[in-house]
Amino acid sequence: MANDTKRFQAIIGHCKEYGFIFPSSEIYDGLSAVYDYGQNGSELKKNIKDHWWKSMTQLQDNIVGIDAAIFMHPTTWKASGHVDNFSDPMIDNKDSKKRYRVDHLIEARIDDLEAAGKQDQAAALQQDMDRLLAASDLDGLRQLIETQKIKCAVSGTSNWTDVRQFNLMFSTQLGSVSEEASEIYLRPETAQGIFVNFLNVQKTGRMKVPFGIAQIGKAFRNEIVARQFIFRMREFEQMEMQFFIRPGTQKEWYEYWKEQRMQWHLGLGIPREKYRFHDHVKLAHYADAACDIEYEFPIGFKEVEGIHSRTDFDLKNHQEYSKKKMQYFDPEINQNYIPYVIETSIGLDRTVLMVLSEAYAEEDLSTPDKPDSRVVLRFPPRLAPVKLAILPLTKKDGLPEIAREIMNDCKAHFRCFYEEKDAIGKRYRRMDAIGTPFCVTVDHQTKEDGTVTIRHRDSMNQERIPVTSIRETILNYIS
């Protein structure tokens, strides 16, 4: 399934219909590349966040978490290189006024060549583009677009402007009076909040290298080509961890974290063949090695997480710009040094999309006499927005009262959902559609022998268990 646009559209539609993800401020026709999480999406997102946080902090001996502010001193972004380097080459079509990322425009041409069976030409063009991008040769890129006769999809013309670098950071004014206000940026990554707090955490936590600092938070990028649902947003969330190490040990730690992070992904129950590593050829300004973990979305293999060996680039620059020492005294070797850093950086929203893409299934349940189907989200139970649905078979005969008691017994431990309306089959299907792994049904037998039916989402198998063991059973499944 290389590029299954239909499936992708079905997932987007499902997310909206079942309260996972809505376009932002939809009543005003939405805001491009900004999305809101609904009642089920926010639970799913929070569960993924908690799972990452636990595995990256609580289950590690030497990693702690912080929560830094979104606004940072503007010099931070000078020191990090974002003011000068965080840009993409862009080109505008003069007739349609549409702006394109140059690499996307040329990549579309490469796709066309490949589709036409002209593999050699496609490979040559890819090589030319990579070379020009690596050399930041903007005139060369402009010429390449011209010689390839690339046209704007909207106007159909080749009336292009020059290629320019376009910074992706959003800026705003800090201060109430315009004369006194200074320009600041919305952070384009959470990592810098960790770097500027490196010494605060190291000293107050008495941390010894190697150690890590983790953080989850919003980041903002003025993405020019913002599409593909929550894959590329202008406001999104990152889950990042910076691991501080002794200089010279970066190769081992880089390999270690590549492996660790892949294990984390596999722990989500996603098979290995749905992932691949992609090594960076053109390294970012701060890195001496970098790769992406890519997942096979319905729109093809795409980056979910980046693992970067960032050297001492960030701490060294912050030391230079702030004039504050960023050194660490290593008692084991009796030396002062600026630690090197391995970063793991995963997009929370992309992880949500990955988990949704993996979970979404359309199943044909037809029998010879009856056509039937269902849409089910096969989430790992611990990530599911609702863990247990409690459903009295009827609204009378004391069944709702028993169901309410079960609800009261369970709701402090995991998220439950109570519903008594509609036929039981319909209620099961609604729970399948939001990925609820377990439903218990209270029926007349419950009154006699104190048992309920528990229905498993994936197999649709049902069994009877005592009311008294419901809480424990579900806790076992989700732990």
How many residues in the shown chain lie near ligand ATP by CB under 6 A? 16
| Closest CB 314 distance from ligand ATP, rounded Å | 13
306 binds ligand ATP, rule: CB under 6 A: yes
C-alpha to C-alpha distance for 29 and 228, rounded to whole angstroms:
17
Among 310, 350, 427, 457, binds ligand ATP (CB under 6 A): 350
Binding to ligand ATP by residue 221, rule CB under 6 A? Answer: yes
Residue from 347, 385, 392, 437 that binds ligand ATP (CB under 6 A)?
347
How many whole angstroms separate alpha carbon 164 and alpha carbon 212?
38
Residue 224: exposure state from Cβ atoms within 10 A (0-12, 13-18, ≥19): middle
C-beta closer to ligand ATP: residue 170 or 477: 170
* Span interacting with ligand ATP, options 303-311, 317-325, 376-384, 450-458, rule CB under 6 A: 303-311
Instruction: Based on the shown chain and the rule CB under 6 A, indicate whether residue 305 belongs to the binding site for ligand ATP.
Output: yes
Helix (H) or strand (E) holding 328: strand 328-330
Q: Using CA atoms, how far apart are residues 348 and 354, in angstroms rounded to an integer?
A: 10
Closest of 458, 457, 453 to residue 441, by C-alpha: 453
Site mask, ligand ATP, residues 223-242, x = CB under 6 A? x--------xx--x-x----
DSSP letter assigned to residue 93:
B
Binding to ligand ATP by residue 345, rule CB under 6 A? yes
Of the residues 314, 349, 358, 432, which one makes contact with ligand ATP according to CB under 6 A: 349
3-class state of residue 271 by DSSP:
coil
Please check whether residue 15 is in contact with residue 7, taking contact to mean a CB–CB distance below 8 angstroms: no
Instruction: Verify binding: residue 443, ligand ATP, rule CB under 6 A.
Output: no
Instruction: Tell me if 314 contacts ligand ATP by CB under 6 A.
Output: no
Smaller CB distance to ligand ATP: residue 283 or 433?
283
In the complex, least distance from residue 190 CB atom to ligand ATP, rounded to whole angstroms: 9
Give the residue nearest to ligand ATP (CB). 347
Among candidate residues 178, 219, 177, 279, the one with its CA nearest the CA of residue 68 = 219
Residue 24 CB, nearest approach to ligand ATP (Å)? 14
Token pair of 210, please?
């190697």
Query: Binding pattern to ligand ATP, positions 44-83, x when CB under 6 A?
Result: ----------------------------------------
Q: Which of 4, 95, 303, 409 touches ligand ATP (CB under 6 A)? A: 303
HSE-CB at 458 with a 13 A cutoff on CA atoms is 7
Side by side, the strands of the sheet bearing 438-442 are: 416-418, 388-392, 438-442, 451-456, 462-466
Q: What is the DSSP secondary-structure string of 344-396?
A: EEEEHHHHHHHHHHHHEEEEE--BTTB--EEEEE---GGG-S-SEEEEESSSS
- Residue 383 backbone dihedrals phi, psi, to 5 degrees: -95, -10
Which lies closer to ligand ATP via its Cβ, residue 266 or residue 475?
266
Q: How far apart are CA 351 and CA 219, in angstroms?
A: 15
Alpha carbons 13 and 15: distance in angstroms, whole number: 5
Shortest reach from residue 303's CB to ligand ATP, in Å: 5
Q: How far is the CB of 238 from ligand ATP (least distance, A)?
A: 5
Residues that bind ligand ATP (CB under 6 A): 189, 221, 223, 232-233, 236, 238, 303-306, 345-347, 349-350
